[in-house]
Amino acid sequence: MKYYVVDVFTDRLFSGNPAGVCLLDSWPADETLQNIAAENNLSETAFLVKIDGGYNLRWFTPTLEIDLCGHATMGAAFILFDEAERSARELRFSTLSGVLTVTRGGDERLWMDFPAWSAEPAPNYPALAKAFGTDRFETYKAADLMAVLESGDEIGRLRPDFEALKKVEAEAGMPDNSFGVIITAPGQDCDFVSRYFAPNAGVDEDPVTGRSHCLLTPYWSKRLGRPKMTARQLSRRGGLLWVEDFGERVKIGGRVKLYLSGDIRTE
C-alpha cells in the first residue's frame, strides 16, 4: 500500500505534527491497521478507501482507533490533492465523526470543516492538579478535558506527570481512552496557545492538534469576542493554525509539508 508522512500545521519540515497517510484499495483486517499504526509509531496514522462521493477515513494511534483527528485529516487531504484529486477544490470524508470536508484555500492553506464542541465547567479534578503541579486553572469538559491557565508562559513551562494524567479518566468519568487533556492560555503573538496530552490513547503529548481546536475555537471566540483567530501549539515541534467559529461548526486552517513517500509491505 502507498504510504506517506507529512508534517501538518507548518510550512517547515521537522516541525508541526507528523502524520502517516495510507491509501488503500479496500479495508484489511483492523488488526493490520493497528499493527501498521503501531509500527509507524506516529501520534496518528490515517487510512483511506475511495467511495462514491469521497473517501472513508479512519485514524489509529499506536494503541487504538480514535473518533476524530485533525492533523491526519489535513495530511490525508494534502496527499489526495497532490496525487489523486489534483483538480478538486474540496474533499469529503466519511468518518466516525460524520462527514468532514477539506478545501483548498489561498496562500497554500487547507481548511477543515469540523464539529464545534461546547464545554461545561467541571471541577479541578485532583489527578489534574497533581499532574500539573498546580490548581490555579479552570476546568471544562466535553469530548476532551480543557484546563485554562493564566499565561502562555505557564503553558510552555508545564511538565505534566503523565501517570497522574492517566487517572483523570476515572475521576472525570470519561467514556473511553480516546479523550485528551488540553491546556490553554492567552497568546502573545497570536490569540491563544495550547498543548494537548493523551497518555491513555498512547500519545503522551501530541505536537499540534486539530481535534482540540473543536473545543478551543468556540471557547476563545466567545471570550475574545471575535470569530477569526490565530493559534499556536507550544509543543517542542510547535505549529500554527488559523481558526474560525461558525456556531455548530469550526473551520481549522493550516499548511502541510511532505516528508516521505513509499510503500508498506504487510506480508
Task: Indicate which residues carry an active-site annotation.
Answer: 44
CA geometry: angle at 226 spanning 225 and 231, to 5°?
110
Q: How many CA atoms lie within 13 A of 19 on its CB side?
A: 30
Please give the Cα distance from 239 to 233 (Å, whole number): 5
Please give the Cα distance from 92 to 103 (Å, whole number): 9
Q: Read off the DSSP letter of residue 37.
A: H
Please give the Cα distance from 38 to 200 (Å, whole number): 15
Q: Read off the amino acid at residue 260.
A: L
Which residue matches cell numbers 494503541?
Answer: 63
Please give the Cα distance from 57 to 15 (Å, whole number): 24
Dihedral in degrees, nearest 10, Cα atoms 75, 61, 43, 256: 0
Cβ 167 vs Cβ 161: under 8 Å: no
Q: What cell numbers appear for 28 in the block? A: 484489511
Please give the Cα distance from 47 to 5 (Å, whole number): 12
